[in-house]
């Protein structure tokens, strides 16, 4: 036997590091024993620790095969076939190909697989398929257990910022919880997320990345706070002790009730509704009427984000500047695409800011005066007005509508389960279905009662009174004026007129822009 044929390369893998009998140390000890029996010299040991057998990228596994491909080893040893792979037939294809191309031999300790056997390919295929099925069964058991734990209010994820996990429940982390409560106070006081993040960094408060076990590198500062991270923390249901679904909504049990994961939440569900409304209120309204989440400082002008060029690009505010002769030139809005060579706007509109705002103010007041209270356009403006005037009430109204929709979906699903999908068979099943159905209908009726308690007619007197609205525009700051404009407008397209002036085409709330 040549030196290469006597050289053996060992592959060890374990997905979860435990004290089990097939730990990496046990695997290596058994394989070295096998090598001695076979008269082999161990030239390399490759370890995939904490790596699933279904993983597509396993560095140690690649290096193990490379030993055969480069001629470093003529024999590949593994503790068992399920250590080689749990990914089914495709996952062992490269192994079989490597053995065929190089003439290397595979031996396993536990299941005594030998690639020199005529039945090796069949045996390897069957064992890899069995390993894949076992992996799927394990995954299903884990998912079912986690789902059961979640229904019982047990936390099954990495700890969220502000909490520690104790006996499957969230318990306040003393320092982090204080940071969150102060951030909530600042949000409700009207501060932007960006200013809160800057304050946390200035105060030297460790960011969530540090709290998750960040290890600093030499010469590098620790990670700073980020607005998206703070927003995720403040909008997560976990902050109010509720289980968060993957889509960010509140998780609910089979009875439709919200699943609680903490007996001592940092804030109450009512406070969370106020936080959500405050954060949403700072986001601009899109043409569809929804609000787009943004991060940033206060707007430079009341029309910032509202004006569009005829080419489709945004018009950005260019503040007044002092010229060489000491005179101040006027502030303008110009097409943002003018700043990019090769994408320059052909229309090149540059409109004076005072002219644009005078037109917008007059158009908005005229629009309000002409709105029909029975029109969908009026409803769109009134809904935005409610959110602007009383964010907490608007959040509660939305929550009530969501509760009705969820309850209606539960009732429909139960009806489909019984009469379409044939679930709940037999007398016991029918009795169980009746109990669940009565509960679902009861939740639906209760949710409808809550929603019905909100008045159908919104108080929009202050919005429709031109004098009151004009005074609000004249006395409020830039951000407030922009918010008032956005109650009625989605955007305004500015075009250069043939006679040298400009035309303004509005897109009103509740309807598309006219052309």
CATH code of the domain in which 50 resides: 3.40.50.1390
Residues 189 and 121 in one domain: no
Tell me: pLDDT of 334 over 50: yes
Nearest CA-CA partner of 375 in 481, 460, 466, 462:
460
Residues 108 and 196 in one domain: no
The SS3 call for residue 385 is helix
Decide which of 281, 296, 316 is a domain's last residue: 281
Question: Both 9 and 85 in a single domain?
Answer: yes
Residues above pLDDT 90, as percent of the chain: 7
Instruction: Answer whether residue 301 shows pLDDT above 60.
Output: yes
Instruction: Please give the structure tokens belonging to residue 18.
Output: 């435990």
Q: By C-alpha distance, which of 34, 31, 56 is closest to 46?
A: 31
Task: Report the pLDDT value the prediction gives residue 423, as an integer from 0 to 100.
Answer: 80
**DSSP alpha helix (H) spans, 246-390:** 269-281, 353-370, 376-389
Which candidate, 238, 269, 259, places its Cα nearest to that of 149? 259
Q: Which pLDDT score, from 0 to 100, does residue 20 have?
A: 44
**Domains in the chain, number:** 3
Task: Assess whether 362 and 492 both reside in one domain.
Answer: yes
Q: Per the structure block, which two tokens stand in for 503?
A: 């035309």
- Structural domain range at position 31: 3-146
> Does residue 513 carry a pLDDT above 50?
no
Strand, coil or helix: what is 88?
coil
> Domain check: are 356 and 500 in the same one?
yes
Of the two residues 142 and 193, the one the predictor is more confident about is 193
319 and 444 housed in the same domain: yes
Provide the mean pLDDT of the chain: 75
Structure tokens at 513: 């822009």
Residue 249's CATH number: 3.90.1750.20
One domain, residues 339 and 463: yes
Spatial neighbors of 187 by CB under 8 A, at least 6 apart, are: 193, 196, 234, 275, 278, 279
Question: Is 332 contained in some domain?
Answer: yes
For tokens 């070295």, name the residue.
Answer: 32
- 254 occurs within a structural domain: yes
Q: Distance between CA atoms of 24 and 449, rounded to whole angstroms?
A: 61
Domain boundary (146, 175, 195) is at 146
Same domain? For 114 and 252 the reply is no
pTM: 0.38
Distance CA 424, CA 93 (A): 44
Helix/strand/coil for 334? strand
462, pLDDT greater than 70: no
467: confidence class by pLDDT, cuts 50, 70, 90: low
206 in the same domain as 110:
no
Q: Is the pLDDT of residue 22 over 70?
A: no
Terminal Cα-to-Cα distance of the chain (whole angstroms): 86
- Token readout for 82 is 């399920």
Query: CA 392, CA 473: separation in Å to the nearest integer?
Result: 23
Q: Which of 347, 290, 361, 359 has the alpha carbon at shortest distance from 315?
A: 347
Q: Do residues 336 and 228 both lie within one domain?
A: no
Alpha-carbon distance of 77 to 85, in angstroms, equals 13
User: How do residues 267-276 score in pLDDT, each as one tens digit?
Assistant: 888 788 888 8
90 & 173 share domain: no
For residues 134 and 170, membership in a common domain is answered with: no
Q: Tens of pLDDT along 124-181?
A: 666 666 655 665 555 555 455 555 555 556 777 788 899 988 888 889 998 999 999 9
**Which pLDDT does position 461 carry in this prediction?**
53
């Amino acid at each position: 036997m040549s030196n290469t044929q006597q050289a053996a390369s060992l592959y060890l893998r374990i997905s979860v590091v435990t004290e089990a009998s097939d730990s990496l140390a046990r695997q290596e000890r058994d394989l070295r024993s096998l090598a001695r029996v076979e008269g082999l010299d161990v030239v390399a040991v490759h370890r995939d620790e904490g790596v699933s057998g279904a993983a597509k990228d396993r560095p140690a596994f690649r290096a193990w095969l490379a030993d055969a491909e480069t001629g470093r080893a003529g024999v590949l040893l593994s503790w068992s076939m399920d250590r080689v792979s749990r990914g089914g037939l495709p996952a062992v294809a490269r192994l079989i190909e490597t053995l065929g191309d190089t003439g290397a031999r595979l031996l396993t300790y536990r299941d005594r697989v030998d690639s020199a056997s005529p039945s090796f390919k069949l045996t390897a295929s069957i064992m890899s398929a069995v390993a894949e099925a076992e992996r799927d069964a394990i995954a299903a058991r884990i998912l079912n257990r986690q789902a059961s734990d979640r229904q019982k209010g047990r936390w099954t994820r990495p700890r969220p910022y502000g909490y520690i996990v104790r006996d499957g429940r969230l318990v306040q982390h003393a320092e982090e919880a204080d940071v969150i409560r102060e951030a909530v106070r600042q949000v409700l006081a009207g501060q932007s997320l960006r200013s809160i993040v800057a304050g946390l960094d200035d105060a030297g408060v460790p960011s969530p990345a540090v709290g998750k076990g960040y290890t600093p590198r030499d010469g590098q500062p620790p990670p700073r706070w980020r607005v998206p991270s703070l927003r995720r923390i403040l909008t997560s249901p976990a902050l109010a002790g509720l289980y968060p679904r993957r889509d960010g909504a509140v998780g609910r049990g089979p009875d439709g009730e919200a699943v609680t994961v903490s007996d001592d939440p940092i804030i109450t569900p009512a406070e969370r509704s106020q936080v959500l409304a405050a954060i949403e209120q700072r986001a601009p309204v899109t043409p569809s009427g929804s609000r787009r989440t943004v991060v940033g400082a206060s707007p430079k002008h009341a029309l910032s984000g509202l004006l569009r060029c005829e080419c489709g690009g945004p018009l950005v505010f260019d503040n007044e500047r002092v010229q060489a002769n000491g005179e101040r030139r006027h502030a303008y809005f110009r097409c943002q695409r003018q700043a990019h060579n090769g994408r320059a706007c052909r229309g090149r509109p540059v409109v004076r800011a005072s002219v644009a705002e005078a037109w917008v103010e007059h158009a908005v007041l005229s629009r309000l005066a002409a709105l029909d209270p029975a029109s969908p356009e009026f409803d769109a403006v009134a809904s935005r007005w409610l959110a602007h005037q009383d964010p907490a009430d608007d959040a509660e109204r939305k929550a009530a509508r969501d509760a009705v929709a969820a309850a209606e979906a539960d009732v429909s699903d139960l009806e489909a389960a019984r009469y379409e999908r044939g679930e709940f068979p037999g007398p016991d099943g029918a009795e169980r279905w009746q109990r669940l159905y009565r509960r679902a209908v009861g939740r639906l009726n209760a949710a409808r009662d809550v929603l019905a308690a909100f008045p159908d007619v919104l108080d929009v007197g202050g919005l429709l009174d031109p004098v009151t609205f004009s005074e609000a525009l004249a006395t409020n700051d830039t951000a407030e004026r922009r918010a008032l404009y956005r109650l009625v407008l989605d955007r305004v397209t500015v075009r250069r007129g043939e006679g040298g002036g400009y035309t303004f085409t509005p897109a009103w709330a509740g309807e598309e822009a006219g052309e």
